[in-house]
Amino acid sequence: MHKPQLTSIASALLAIGAISTFNLAAAAEADDKKDTGLTEVIITAQKIAQPASKTPLALSVVSGEDLKNAGTVDPRALAATLPNVEIAQESGMLQVSIRGVTSLDMTEKGDPSAAFHIDGAYVPRYEAQAVAFYDLDRIEVLRGPQGTLYGRNATAGAINLITNKPTRKLEGKVGFELGNYNTRRYDGVLNIPLGDVWAFRAALNANKHDTYLNPGPNKIPLESQDDKSARLHLLGKFNADTSLLLTAEHNKIGGGGVSPVPLTNFFNGTPTGTLPFTAPGRGNDLLNPVYVDRGADAQRTAGWEFKADNTKPRDNFANSLRAEFKTVLAGTELTYQAAQMRMHTNQTNNGVYFGFPFTNSNNGDSKALSHEFRLNSTGNGPLRWVAGFYHFDESVFRDAQYNTYVTAPFGQLVVNLPFLASINNKSKAVFGQATYSLREDTRLTMGLRYTKDRKSGYDPLSGEAATPPATTSSKAYSEDVSFNNTSWKVGIDHDLMRNVMLYASVSTGYKSGGFNAERDTGIYQPETLKSFETGVKGRFLENHLQVSANVFYYDYKNQQMTITTCRTNDPATCHSFTSNAANSVVKGAELEGKLKVGDNGELRATAATTDAHYKDYHPSSTIDYSGKKLDRAPSTTIALGYTHHFPLSNGGEVTANLNTRHSTSYYLSDPTQDIRYRQPSFHKSDASIGYESPDAKWNVQLFVKNIENEITLQSRVPGSFFISDPRTYGVRAAYNF
C-alpha cells in the first residue's frame, strides 16, 4: 500500500500552484478590468441566503460545474474533495462520517449522525440518500454539530443537495455515459416556461453497471446497479416576494443484491468460530490480523458459495413529494416546507454476515412526513434572525429473513433469523437564531432549539421464530421511549479587513436515543456533542485566491456505540445492539483553498488533521479502549485538484481536470473481541478531459476514476468487509438545446 507522500500527480499540481502564485499578483492587476476572479457562491446553510465566504462556520460548497468536471455521480466520490469527510456504503446504504463522528446502526431503528437533506427536506432512510445525485445546482456540506438549525441527528454535520430549479428559458439536455463494467448512464433535462407565472422542469436519470466484485469460481451474480430516477419541479413566481415550488420525485433502485467480501481477502490471522457453523479458515473475526496486499482482483473476490436465487434483483423504490411556499409579510419572510417520502424495500442480499455464508431477504415499507415553518428577517438592519417550528413523523415496517446456507460436507440449512419490526419516530422542535451587529465589523450570533422525540416499536420475532401455537418468540420486544434536548450556539465573527473574516463559536449537537432489537438488550440514551471552533475566511489577490481555515475541539458524551456480535458459534445467537458506551475527544484543523490560475485555470486544495480518540470506553470488563483512536478517522487527509480550460480558435473549448487525495491509515474495529483492522495509508486519483462545441450545444468527456485501482475498506460486518469501487473509466457526452 501507499504511504501518505506526494505522488507525481500531486507534485505536478503543487508545481502549478507555486508558479501561478508567483506571477498572480501582477497578472490580476493587469487583467483587473476583464477578470473578476473566483465566483462567490450564495448558500442557504443557515436557512437564509448569504455568501459562503461570509458564513461563520466550517462548510464546503461543491458547485454543479465542479460536479460536472469531476464526473461525480455518486455521493461516495464527493468525499474525495472534502476535508474530514468519509462516505462509505454498507449493505447498499450510505454511511457518512464527519470528523470521526458516525453512526453504525443501519437498521430501521437506527438514526444517522449526519443530517441528509434535498432542497432542505430531511431524508431519513439511508437507502434513499444515494440516488439523488443528478441535475444539481450545488451541494453544501456542514462540518460540526448543527443542533440549532438542523436539529436531531446532526452531531456530525449536515449535507444538503440543492437541485436546479425551473427558469424562464425554454431549454433542455440529453446525455449518456458508457464505461467499463458495462456501465450505462443516461440523463435528460427539460425546462419549459408556462406563461408569466409558472415554469416546469423535468430531470431523468438512469444508472446501470455490472458488479464490481469478482464472483470467483462460483460465477454467481453479485452486487450490481440498475437505478432509475425522475424529478419534476413546478415553480410559480407570483411576484417578487411570493413563490410556490412543488416537487415530485421517483427513484427506482434495482440491480443485484449487495454483498461484502471475506476478511481474509485483506488480512491474515486466526479465525474465530469453529465447525459446524463456519467453513474452514473463516470466522466472525480474525485474531491478530495482519494486512496483506493481495491485489485488487483478489480483494474483490467473493470467496463463498451461495444457495439463494441471486437472479432476483433488488426491487426498491423511494417516492417523494415536496412543497415550499415563500412570501414576505410586513418586512418578514415566511417559508413553509412540507415533505413526504415513501420507501419500499424488496431485495435479497448475499455475503458473509456474522462469519457465516448468509442470505438476507429484506422486505419493508416506510413513510416519513415533515413540516417546517420559518420566519426570518429581511433588509440590512443590525439584527438578522430566523425562527421556526419543525414536525417529523415516520413509520417503518420490516419483514426480514437471515438464512444460513452451507453446502456439503457442512450440511443443509442451519438456521433462520426472522424479523418483523414496526417502528414509529416522532419529533417536534422549535428553534431560533439571531445575529446582531455590535459594530460595523463585529457580529454576535446566538441560537437555541428545543426538541422532543418519541420512538416506539414492536417485533414479535426479533431474530427467533415463534414456536407454534405461540405467535411471539422469547426475544420479542415492545418499547416506547421519549427524549428531549435543548441545543444552543453562541458565536462571534469579526472583519479583520475587507473580505477577511475571523470567527469563533461554541455549539452543541444531539442525536436521539432509542432501543435495541431484542428484549434483553434494553434502551439507550441520546448522545450529545459540544464543539469549540474558531476559523478564518478570506478572499485575496483581487478575489483570485479564496482560503478558509479552522481549528476545532469536541467534547463527545454518551456516544452511541453499535456492535454486532455472536454469543456463541451458533449464528442464531448473533445480534447487534447499541449502548451509550463511550465518551470521546476529537480535535483537529482544516484548510480549504481555491486559486484562479490566469484566465482559465483553477487550483484547489484541502487538508485536514484529526486527533479523535476515546476518552473513556470499556467494551467489556477486560477490554479498555480508552485513549485509542476512533474508527474511520484518519489522522491526515490531503486533496489537490486542478482544472484548466483551453480555448480553441474555432470558439470551442477543451477542459482538463485532475484530482488526487491522500489519506493516512484508519481502523475498523470489533471492540468486543479487542480486534482492530487497520486500513493502511493510500492515495486515489481521478482525471478527465472534455471538449465543448463553439455554440456550447454539445460536449464529450473521457474520464478515469481511481487511477491507482486502490481497493479500500469502507465498513465491516462480522466476517466480512464492504469495500470501495475499483478503477472505472469511460466516455460521457451531452447535447444541450
Average pLDDT over residues 280-293: 82
CB 516 within 8 A of CB 578: yes
> Residue 34, SS3?
coil
pLDDT for the residue numbered 532: 97
pLDDT above 80 for 133: yes
Q: Check if the beta carbon of residue 119 is closer than 8 Å to that of residue 103.
A: no
Q: Which of 562-566, 665-669, 689-693 has the lowest mean pLDDT?
A: 562-566
pLDDT tens figures, 608-656? 999 999 999 998 889 999 999 999 999 999 999 999 999 999 999 999 9
Residue 12's pLDDT is 52
pLDDT at 408: 43
Residue 302, pLDDT above cutoff 90: no
Confidence band for 30, pLDDT divided at 50, 70 and 90: very low
- 537-557 pLDDT, tens per residue? 999 998 999 999 999 999 999
Which residue do the cell numbers 420512538 mark?
A: 455
**Residues 646-664: tens digit of each pLDDT:** 999 999 999 999 999 999 9
Q: Rounded to whole angstroms, how far apart are CA atoms 661 and 724?
A: 14
pLDDT tens across 163-185, in order?
999 999 999 999 999 999 999 99
The DSSP code for 164 is P
Specify the pLDDT at position 409: 43
Answer yes or no: is pLDDT of 406 > 60.
no
Report the Cα–Cα distance between both ends of the chain, in Å, rounded: 47
Q: How many CA atoms lie within 13 A of 500 on its CB side?
A: 6
Instruction: Provide the pLDDT for residue 65.
Output: 84
Mean predicted confidence (pLDDT) in 470-491: 93
Output the pLDDT for position 447. 96
Q: Is the per-residue pLDDT at 424 higher than 90?
A: yes
Return mean pLDDT, the chain: 87
Cell of 286: 480474525
Residues 411 and 407: their CA atoms lie apart, in Å, by 6
Band of residue 72 on the pLDDT scale cut at 50, 70, 90: confident
Ranges 268-282, 341-355, 420-434, most confident: 420-434
CA torsion 139-144-150-151 (nearest 10°) is 150
Question: Is the model's pLDDT at 379 over the cut of 50?
Answer: yes
Q: In this structure, are strands 728-736 and 383-404 parallel, antiparallel, or unpaired?
A: unpaired
pTM of the model: 0.89
Average pLDDT over residues 234-252: 96
Q: Parallel, antiparallel, or unpaired for β 243-255 and 225-237?
A: antiparallel
Instruction: Say if residue 621 is exposed, middle or buried (CB neighbours under 10 Å; 0-12, 13-18, 19+).
Output: exposed
Between residues 352 and 473, which one has the greater pLDDT?
473
* Range of lowest pLDDT (412-421, 526-535, 572-581): 412-421
Q: Evaluate whether the domain defined by 8-736 bears CATH number 1.10.10.10.
A: no
pLDDT (average), residues 285-305: 88
Residue 268 has a pLDDT of 94
pLDDT in tens, 555-572: 999 999 888 766 665 666
Contact call for residues 528 and 451 (beta carbons, < 8 A): no
In this structure, of 109-113, 533-537, 653-657, 698-702, the range with the lowest mean pLDDT score is: 109-113
